[in-house]
Structure 1
């Protein structure tokens, strides 16, 4: 992905951010988050990462449900992150930083869990994202990937560079290529499918 396309995507989400939590889609996202949390199991004192965290709604829910976790939200958009920081009810347990999912600024094995919800479809190099997730996830950790699958449709020109949809089998193949095994697929809401991965 070129630097120019990264810049276009950042600008796209920066413009969306001020109204992001007031759109009808946010009700949908909140429903997805509630269903996702019913599948989440974390160790005591878990360290977690939310890729494409947006305005931080999922991390806020996780911090409320697991009061001893610490979490980092990463997003490409500075404006999304500004919104997340303003609404952060769990500082300093939760912090937010700008970054690229294809080159995560974190140490190997740093996290007990990585979450990616309704943003994987924006990544132009999904193999590289899986590789980075595998790297920063510890050996007992799990990767929770929740995103849309739309029948035979492969991509649509929604944002700069378009968005892409992947079948359960394609997700499994991404994982297998970097040593992540799929523990199962679970329907959350509509066509949103949760896939859970682990090193073991």
Structure 2
């Protein structure tokens, strides 16, 4: 099933930034940056980075910031590397959210925008986020919050939606304290967590 999900995003990658998603994500990224609990501490991780647009925006806003983008799709990573060519503050790699290839406490902040809904094992992903996040660091989760829709068969293995209580409960189980939920645009909500 993971292979089918990878192929789905590999096929989407060449056209990903040509679609309406680009305008929508730019607006989301702008609002997300305005809601940061504190200036992000380097390095940061963009988990499910896609074509690397969020790291580009963060780099413009915080010129000293360094970061890593991780995505399941090698085609998405290739697009991100091309977008960031010549910028040695960021690197991109292919990997799974359930096995983040970095040491414990490596990141000052982790971002996850419109990716969490694709994860078949949300508990395992949040466990990994908590592991690689340093104490006092922040996790910013942005996804649609559409009530009780639950599972939708949009892509291989479908997508899942979580309400406020479910997000908070999943985070708490991984040792992440929920600081609150902020509406960003349309049905997109930001949930801010910190690692105590």
Separation (CA, whole Å) in 2 of partners of 1:51 and 1:178: 16
For 1:123, which of 100, 119, 122 is the aligned residue?
A: 119
Which blocks of at least 5 consecutive residues in structure 2 are unaligned?
Answer: none
> What's 1:42 paired with?
39
Separation (CA, whole Å) in 2 of partners of 1:193 and 1:140: 22
Q: Show CA shifts across 1:104-151 (max 9, x none).
A: 100000000000000100000000010000000000100000000112
Alpha-carbon spacing, 1:65–1:79, altered in 2? closer, same or farther (3 Å): same
State the 4+ residue runs in structure 1 displaced beyond 2 angstroms.
41-44
Which blocks of at least 5 consecutive residues in structure 1 are unaligned?
Answer: none
**TM-score, with structure 2 as normaliser:** 0.97
Is the contact made by 2:40 and 2:109 (CA closer than 8 Å) also made in structure 1? no
**TM-score, with structure 1 as normaliser:** 0.95
Count of paired positions: 195
> What's 2:19 paired with?
23
1:1-200 alignment to 2 at 5 Å? Answer: 5-40=1-36, 41-42=38-39, 46-88=42-84, 91-200=87-196
What's the Cα RMSD here? 1.1
Is the contact made by 1:60 and 1:89 (CA closer than 8 Å) also made in structure 2? no
